[in-house]
Amino acid sequence: MQQPEATPVDRHNDTRREYIPEDHLPTSLSTAVPSGLSRLLQDSPTASLADRPITTSATPVTPPSQSASPRPLIDPNAAGTCPCRTPVLLDMSRCEQTDFDLLDWLNKSVMLVKTVPGLSPLPRADRALLLAAAWKELVILYMAQSQFDFDYLIPQGGLDELAQKISGPGSIPVRHGQCCIHWSWIEGIPTLRSVEQLRFILHKFREIRPDDKEYALLRVLLLFNADLRGLSNSPAVEAANERVHTALMEYENACYPRDPLRLSHLLLLLPGVRGFSAKVFENLFYKHLTRDMNVEGVLRDMLRD
């Protein structure tokens, strides 16, 4: 049977190239990642979201009649016009390197929690809670530091297809401005708007060009979040956060004395990193790796290793 084709969206020159769905991830990756992640590579259903025809514009879906079975409602007049309802998939053309990087950044995040001095006095439950809350922020900073870039695809089935792929059938439509979107989108369906939001965040980091020391301090600063519910020792986390903030300020004064606003510019990037939806991020970059597991469950297993 002939494989479906797709057109990747390239924001630079809109060059179209063939999309090649992967049946499985290369086994060579299994030896390059920790044991806690190897099973994700072995079981990765890379082709699960790529087995449908893909195009660069969403196909309008006619709203069902009242007698039809319940389906998510799509406004056919708004198809492909609103970025907050145009779903996207990660382009897997560079599958091997992309997946290696994504898993490597998860492993580095776990190692950070295991080795950073400020976390050693905390119980394991607190460390697991901090990691579960900050893993997305840590990975985004690794992306920015590595100059990571990615392309995406727009599924032909539109929001209907992707919502059922991620959240299952029976998604409930809700109104968002003048367009109709799914409740499941609020729970994490990647869209053009979310992709451009993430690219904007990465672009701002490229403009400031933090050095390795700044990235390391920013990651620890994001990790020490004393406002999390469920922490048994919030004062210790808050004290560690203040120490890291002081260390970052001293570093900026010593290394960038001619740029007095550099620290402020760096700190202003953090709300955007924190505010990006963790569910959208997971569904865009990790869903094809974790399958039925979520990233937080994978991280808990890695912390126990």
Per-residue confidence (pLDDT) for residue 157, from 0 to 100? 63
Beta bridge partners of 179: 176
Boundaries of every domain in the chain: 27-298
Q: Estimate the crossing angle of helix 192-208 against helix 124-145, to 10 degrees.
A: 80
User: Which of the four pLDDT bands, split at 50, 70 and 90, describes residue 86?
Assistant: confident
**pLDDT average, residue stretch 95-106:** 90
Determine the pLDDT at residue 166: 60
Q: What is the mean pLDDT of residues 173-193?
A: 58
Residue range 193-243, pLDDT digits in tens: 999 999 999 999 999 999 999 999 999 999 999 999 999 999 999 999 999
Q: What is the pLDDT of residue 158?
A: 58
Q: Residue 25 and residue 289: Cα distance in Å, rounded?
A: 9
Token pair listed for 124: 């394991």
pLDDT band at 188 (very low <50, low <70, confident <90, very high): confident
Which residue shows structure tokens 């449908």?
52
**What SS3 string covers the chain?**
CCCCCCCCECCCCCCCCCCCCCCCCCHHHHHCCCHHHHHHHHCCCCCCCCCCCECCCCCCCCCCCCCCCCCCCCCHHHCCCCCCCCECEECHHHHHHHHHHHHHHHHHHHHHHHHCHHHCCCCHHHHHHHHHHHHHHHHHHHHHHCCCCCCEECECCHHHHHHHHHHCCCCCEEEECCEEEEHHHHCCCCEHHHHHHHHHHHHHHHHHCCCHHHHHHHHHHHHCCCCCCCCCCHHHHHHHHHHHHHHHHHHHHHHCCCCCCHHHHHHHHHHHHHHCCHHHHHHHHCHHHHCCCCHHHHHHHHHHC
What is the pLDDT at residue 162?
A: 59
At 90, give phi and psi (nearest 5°): -70, 130
CB burial of residue 103 (10 Å; 0-12, 13-18, 19+): buried
Helix axes of 295-304 and 95-115: crossing angle, nearest 10 degrees: 50
For the cut 80, the answer to whether the pLDDT of residue 85 exceeds it is: no
Residue with the bigger pLDDT between 171 and 110: it is 110
Mean pLDDT taken over the chain:
74
Per-residue pLDDT tens over the stretch 45-83: 443 333 333 333 333 333 334 333 333 333 333 444 466
| Of 11 and 280, more confident | 280
Measured in degrees and rounded to the nearest 5, phi and psi for residue 176 equal -135, 100
Phi and psi at residue 30, in whole multiples of 5°? -60, -30
6 and 153 Cβ atoms separated by less than 8 Å: yes
Q: In the predicted model, what is the mean pLDDT of residues 7-24?
A: 42
Rounded to an integer, what distance in angstroms lies between the CA atom of residue 2 and that of residue 95?
Answer: 21
* Higher per-residue confidence, 280 vs 62: 280
pLDDT band at 93 (very low <50, low <70, confident <90, very high): confident
Which of 187 and 116 is assigned the larger pLDDT?
116
Q: Using CB atoms within 10 A of its CB, is residue 275 exposed (0-12), middle (13-18) or buried (19+)?
A: exposed
More confident residue, 180 or 129: 129
Q: How far apart are CA 225 and CA 133, in angstroms?
A: 8
pLDDT > 90: percent of the chain: 46
Sign of the torsion angle spanned by Cα atoms 20, 21, 23, 26: positive
Residue type, 191: T
Q: What percent of the chain has pLDDT over 70?
A: 62
pLDDT-derived band at 292 (thresholds 50, 70, 90) equals confident
CATH 1.10.565.10 fits 27-298, yes or no: yes
Return the residue matching tokens 């970052």. Answer: 248
User: Taking a C-beta distance cutoff of 8 angstroms, is the pair 3, 21 a contact?
Assistant: yes
pLDDT of residue 84: 63
